[in-house]
Amino acid sequence: MAKRFGKGDSNLPKSKINKQNLSKAFRIFSYMEKFKWQFFLGMLFLFLTSAVALVFPWLLGRMVDSAKAVLFEEIDKIALMLLAIFVAQAFFSFFRIYLFSYVTEYTILKLRQDVYQHLIQLPMSFFNTRRVGELNSRISADITQIQETFTTTIAEFLRQAILIVGGITIISFMSGKLTLFMLSMLPIIIVIAIFLGRYVRKISNEVQDRIADSNTIVEETLQGIATVKAFANEFFEVFRYNKSTEAIIEKTLLSARVRGFFASFIILCLFGSIVAVIWFAVRMVQSGELEEGQMFSFFLYTAFVAASIGGISEMYAQIQKSIGSIERVFEILDEDNEHISLSEEIQLPNRLNGQIDFNNITFQYPVREDLTVLKEINLDIKPGERIALVGSSGAGKSTIANLILRFYEPSNGQLLFDGKDAGEYDITALRQQMAVVPQDVLLFGGSIKENIAYGKPNATFEEIESAASKAHATEFIDSFPDKYETIVGERGITLSGGQRQRIAIARAILKDPAILILDEATSSLDSQSEKLVQKALDELMQNRTSIVIAHRLSTIRNVDKIVVLENGKILETGTHEELINNPNGKYYHLSKLQFDLA
């Protein structure tokens, strides 16, 4: 089952930090192998910036003590030392930030490329169980989360950890008594703060969920605005949205009360603790147990430690999210791919003749192994033959096409191309000799020229024009002001259905495949568009093996052989004339239904 993500990038699921998850997360460091010296150098500068920061409060304390007459001559030296520390801190910080960014950016670049490259090589069975939004989230939100963590969060987490440990160690040497007094107040404050903080986060997540629900209503309503207006249901959608937004108020006000109590508690405890520590420290100065400068340094170190403790919990939460993100990204990389070649140069030694043989093939989709889609299919398709697959929905027509394209492997039986087992061919080279014209044509958001050239990326403009002419697409292309440079919009939305089909046909003509698959290519067109598209298809099918999936039987009367399928089995085969003259056959029944409806 596909995993679902939170409703928004900020709600990426966390992963508990344990030995098992850390071992998975450490795989990310394999991508840093090439930059390990830059990484280690960045870690050195990180340590140096933290160490220099810990010297700063001590020197300020010395400066306070230098106000005494006996030590006044040291003030200039201390001021110069502080200036040197600022310069060193600036120098170390620059290289720390730059080196961590350098390593992270190149690491993430390689990770993004590997994930996308691996993703598009995964089999169709993988995509059948995943949603596009989920996969997009892994490449965008998850990798961005990893990027942010390795650029800043880990470095800051380590820096704050050094400041906490270093600061507590130093103040312990300065005054163990005052340190124990200060630390004795922390456990209660921390426990209550953690409890309230988790409750606040829980309510905040519930608020985000309800906001997401209301946004879903807006999205659904606007996407189906024609349906809303056609049914005069504006009042219903307004009621639905109002009810959803009112539910947000309930949670936001609860969140406000809890956050207000949390803020009041922190202010009371924080300032109360500060007053108590100052009171105790002043009494120690009066009794001679502590110098004024030491007290000043102690307060600065305490402020450093408190600030670091306050920030490190949020960083820890970010690291938890990143570990979860790393796990999800590597889940993709761990999937078995199709071993597709990414080189354009992969070709079969010889062009396929187009002979296709199904030998006793049985098939179940990986996601529904309990349902047998094809049952002992035996089918011989000769080179250059035009075959039509007909039958009711779910009969197995598209599954046969999917097996020819090798989107899936047969569960049993053997698929042959030119008498050779399909598994013996390089899958990329085999698909390069096939083309598909689907019912619902997907055009990419570029120009008409780019969409036609998708069939042959290195084609010349003359070849593109020739393919468009053969697909009877030149007339409408030339009518556009930008002609072949016309932008088709997302999924080809600026073109009509017939125009998109002819672009798809031109794409297939340009590819010049040995095997052509037409998946109900004219079923959704009007009569005029269908006539033009059918004319282009007839030209495209010449001198190549063609498999036509059709519901409109009028479009397949001239094919060489019609294969009638029912419940995954072949019921009958023959030409249109042979099958129409069999009144007991399925094809005759289907034809009678269509003609009667006409």
Residue range 225-239, pLDDT digits in tens: 777 777 677 777 788
At 17, the pLDDT band (50, 70, 90 cuts) reads low
Q: Are 568 and 375 in contact (CB under 8 A)?
A: yes
Summarize pLDDT for 174-191 with one digit per residue, the tens.
778 887 887 777 677 667
What DSSP designation does 572 have? E
The pLDDT tens digits of the residues spanning 420-446 come to 888 888 888 888 888 888 877 777 778
Task: Please give the pLDDT value at position 344.
Answer: 56
Q: Say how far apart CA 282 and CA 285 lie, in whole Å.
A: 5
Is 517 or 21 the better-scoring residue by pLDDT? Answer: 517
What is this structure's pTM? Answer: 0.69
At residue 50, the pLDDT reads: 83
Checking if the pLDDT of 7 tops 50, the result is no
What pLDDT shows up at residue 597?
38
**Residue 447's pLDDT is what?**
85
Interval 356-393: pLDDT, tens: 888 888 988 877 777 888 888 888 888 888 888 888 77
327-346 pLDDT per residue, tens = 888 888 877 777 766 665 55
Name the helix (H) or strand (E) containing 564: strand 561-566
What is the model's pLDDT at position 342?
Answer: 63
C-alpha distances (whole Å) from 213 to each of 3, 247, 248, 550 are 19, 10, 10, 41
Residue 591 — very low, low, confident or very high, per pLDDT cuts 50/70/90? confident
Q: What are phi and psi of 88, to 5 degrees?
A: -65, -40
pLDDT score for 84? 82
Residue 551 phi/psi, 5-degree rounding, is -100, -35
8-12, 305-309, 318-322, 551-555: least confident range = 8-12
CA atoms within 13 A on the CB side of 35: 20
User: 481-519, pLDDT tens digit by residue?
Assistant: 888 888 876 555 667 777 888 888 888 888 888 888 888
Structure tokens at 168: 């507590």
Q: Which of 132, 138, 111, 118 is nearest to 337 (CA)?
A: 118
CA distance 167 to 318: 24
Which two structure tokens, joined as six digits, stand for 47? Answer: 């340590």
Provide the pairing of β-strand 386-390 with 434-437.
unpaired
Q: How many CB atoms lie within 10 A of CB 42?
A: 22
Contact 294, 174 (CB under 8 A): yes
The model's pLDDT over 35-92, given as tens digits with 9 standing for 90+, comes to 888 888 888 888 888 888 888 777 777 777 666 644 556 777 777 887 888 888 888 8
Residue 10: is its pLDDT beyond 50?
A: no
Which tokens in the block code for residue 308?
Answer: 């670091």
Calpha distance 224→216 (Å, rounded): 12
| Band of residue 260 on the pLDDT scale cut at 50, 70, 90 | confident
- Radius of gyration (Cα) for the chain, nearest Å? 35
Residue 270 has pLDDT above 70, yes or no: no
The pLDDT assigned to 93 comes to 84
The better pLDDT of the pair 404, 187 is held by 404
Phi, psi (rounded to 5 degrees) for 549: -100, 120
Q: Which residue has the higher pLDDT, 140 or 22?
A: 140
**Could you tell me the two tokens for 307?**
């600030």
Phi/psi at 313 (5° precision): -65, -40
**pLDDT at site 5:** 41
| 412-417 and 386-390 beta bridge pairing | unpaired
Contact 514, 352 (CB under 8 A): yes
On whether the CB atoms of residues 337 and 428 are closer than 8 A, the answer is no
Tell me how far CA of residue 362 lies from CA of 129, 152, 415, in angstroms. Answer: 22, 54, 11
Asked if residue 11 has pLDDT above 70, the reply is: no
